[in-house]
Amino acid sequence: MSVSVVLFTSDLRLHDHPPLRAALAAADEVVPLFVRDRAVEAAGFATPNRTAFLADCLADLDASLRERGGRLVVRSGDLVAQVCGVAAEADADEVHLAAAHSAFATRREDLLRRALAADGRRLLVHDAVTVAVPPGEVTPAGSDHFAVFTPYHRRWAQAGLRAPLAAPRRVPVPDGVRGERLPAREDVTGVSPALPAGGESEGRKRVSAYWRTGLDAYDDTRDDLAADATSRLSAHLHFGTLPPVELVQRARRHGGPGAEALVRQLAWRDFHRQVLAARPAVARADYRTKGDRWRTGRAARADVEAWREGRTGYPVIDAAMRQLRHEGWMHNRARLLTASFLAKTLYVDWRIGAEHFLYWLVDGDIANNQLNWQWVAGTGTDTRPNRVLNPIAQARRYDPDGGYVRRWVPELAGLADRFVHEPWKLPGAERAALDYPEPVIDLAEGVDRFRRGRDRGK
């Protein structure tokens, strides 16, 4: 009996899974394997929210495999050593893996390829599993990647997509390959109270429900903070419980402005991955440095702490930061506002904010998180790097009735609409009785400080 190993990483599903289908086609039996890589934990990426969501994903994947006569094998330790050990135990000829795009993932892939080759085995890497259009498939003349989204999107939209693959009916797994107990969400401490459930089954339910009730209005409502009308598919895309190729094709078949807007967001996701694949250093370094002299010292640290705790005195910023801690997720418009406030109004290094987001966000990944932070900070791919988002103007536009602020900043829930975004304008006695801080900075002063600081860096 011939055997292949399928190494699951950020592709925790059975639907539209090219590595699994290729392994089933090449061998009589397969070993579905997930390795809890100690290097990921050592690097700080195994945060409570993502660890809990991952546990849900693995349990759901195992259940789906068992329905098909198989099971998920889970190991912990050094990924290369564990994969090679499983391949030897099963006497597998091949290991199948979805392509990844960070420096960490590509380095790990190279180490695995060489270790397997030393044992006379092959590593087969499959593209278009965690993205719709793989990095490098569309490139501009004279460069290895697009640095501006709009021309990238035009080419991306014209790229051919492979046909989505059905989930296999049977997954025969050989006996004798040992595995560990599956991790469980209840074993994880420090999880956000309202963290959603993970797993392919949950992801597909979410897609079906959203296609029926939310997709058509997506273009009109996705920036409405109080409406909470975004797709909330980001965590499932991050863990690969939903396939990007299938989502793009389903949305295109559905049609309409809402579906087109959702496809554009999926293109943004691929855009950031092609930037990261071409310039791995942007995970920590400026893509386009502005020579910023970011604030440091006691006052800056106090401002950062107020931002983290949702106590800046600007209600829409505080609402977003509290939502982040409670749900392990934040509304897309709120992410832009809170990032602009930290990097430009407070003039604090974007890396500090990116690290905080990566800790709490269940959908946090290097490509989207770091490059969106750089876009907002003006060190990334934004063609208007010095724009500053005004949190009051943005709140009036995207939370006009204050519903979002009232939900997450309950101490302001009883305020009239004209005060809910600017509580400092309350009459003196009412303001004094309100348990809510004064603004940490005057907006005009913050903008002036940012522009002076950036000008010095030229």
- Cα 330 from Cα 357, distance rounded (Å): 9
DSSP letter, residue 119: T
Distance of CA 304 to the CA centre of its chain: 22
Residue 333 has pLDDT above 80, yes or no: yes
Q: Decide: 4 and 26 in contact? Cβ < 8 Å.
A: yes
Using N-to-C axis directions, what is the helix angle for 200-213 and 48-67, rounded to 10°?
Answer: 100
How far apart (Å, rounded) are the C-alpha atoms in residues 273 and 279?
Answer: 10
**Among the listed residues 142, 148, 438, the one whose alpha carbon sits nearest the alpha carbon of residue 311:** 438
Per-residue confidence (pLDDT) for residue 457, from 0 to 100: 60
Query: What are 246-303's pLDDT values in tens digits?
Result: 999 999 999 999 999 999 999 999 999 999 999 999 999 999 999 999 999 999 999 9
DSSP string, 326-382: HHS---HHHHHHHHHIIIIIS---HHHHHHHHHHH-TT--IIIIIHHHHHHHTSSS-
- Is residue 455 very low, low, confident or very high in pLDDT (cuts 50, 70, 90)? confident
Which of 7, 30, 19, 12 lies closest to 79, judged by CA? 7
CB-facing half-sphere around the CA of 379: CA atoms within 13 A:
29
Per the listing, tokens 């949702």 go with: 310
Residue 458: is its pLDDT beyond 70? Answer: no
Q: Provide mean pLDDT across the span 328-345.
A: 98
Q: Which of 3, 10, 213 is nearest to 92 (CA)?
A: 3
Statement: residue 105 has pLDDT above 90: yes
**pLDDT class for 456, splitting at 50, 70, 90?**
confident
- In whole angstroms, what is the distance from residue 93 CA to residue 237 CA? 30
Which residues, other chains included, contact 80 with Cβ-Cβ below 8 Å and sequence gap of 6+? 108, 111, 112, 115
Rounded to 10°, the helix 350-360/298-309 angle is: 30
Q: What average pLDDT does range 322-327 have in this prediction? A: 98
* 329 close to 193: Cβ distance less than 8 angstroms: no
User: Is the model's pLDDT at 346 over the cut of 90?
Assistant: yes
C-alpha dist (Å) from residue 343 to 310, 331, 378: 16, 18, 9
Beta bridge partners of 33: 7, 73
Give me the amino acid identity at 101.
H
Sheet arrangement for strand 122-126:
73-77, 29-37, 3-8, 94-98, 122-126
Answer whether 360's CB lies under 8 Å from 366's CB: no
What pLDDT digit, counting tens, does each position of 20-68 carry?
A: 999 999 999 999 999 999 999 898 999 999 999 999 999 999 999 999 9
**Per-residue pLDDT, 137:** 97
Residue keyed to tokens 């009459």: 427
The 10s digit of each residue's pLDDT in 417-430 is: 999 999 999 999 99
What's the confidence (pLDDT) of residue 69? 98
Q: Report the C-alpha gap between 354 and 374 in whole angstroms.
A: 9
Residue 411, token pair as written in the block: 């101490």
CA angle 50, 56, 60 (to 5 degrees): 140
Tokens 């876009």 appear where?
Answer: 375
Residue with tokens 């925790």: 12
Question: What's the mean pLDDT in 149-160?
Answer: 97
Give the CA distances from residue 48 to residues 139, 331, 353, in Å, rounded to whole numbers and listed in that order.
37, 20, 18
**Distance between CA 61 and CA 67 in Å, rounded?**
10
Please state, as a whole number, how many other Cβ atoms lie within 10 Å of the Cβ of residue 148: 12
CA 337 and chain centroid, separation: 17
Q: Which residue has the tokens 């092609």?
A: 274
pTM recorded for the entire structure = 0.97
Dump pLDDT digits (tens) for 202-228: 999 999 999 999 999 999 999 999 999
Distance CA 436, CA 318 (A): 10
pLDDT value, residue 439: 98
Report whether 97 contacts 7 (CB < 8 A). Answer: yes
**N-to-C CA span, the chain:** 65
- Please give the C-alpha separations between residue 215 and each of 258, 305, 389, 453, in angstroms, as whole numbers: 5, 37, 27, 42
> CA 346, CA 379: separation in Å to the nearest integer?
16
Distance of CA 98 to the CA centre of its chain: 17
Residue 224: name the closest of 417, 402, 406 by CA: 402
What tokens were used for 436?
A: 């809510």
C-alpha to C-alpha distances, 109 to 103, 139, 144, nearest whole angstrom: 10, 23, 21
Chain position carrying tokens 């290895």: 144
The encoded tokens of residue 142 equal 């004279």
Residues 361-411: tens digit of each pLDDT:
999 999 999 999 999 999 999 999 999 999 999 999 999 999 999 999 999
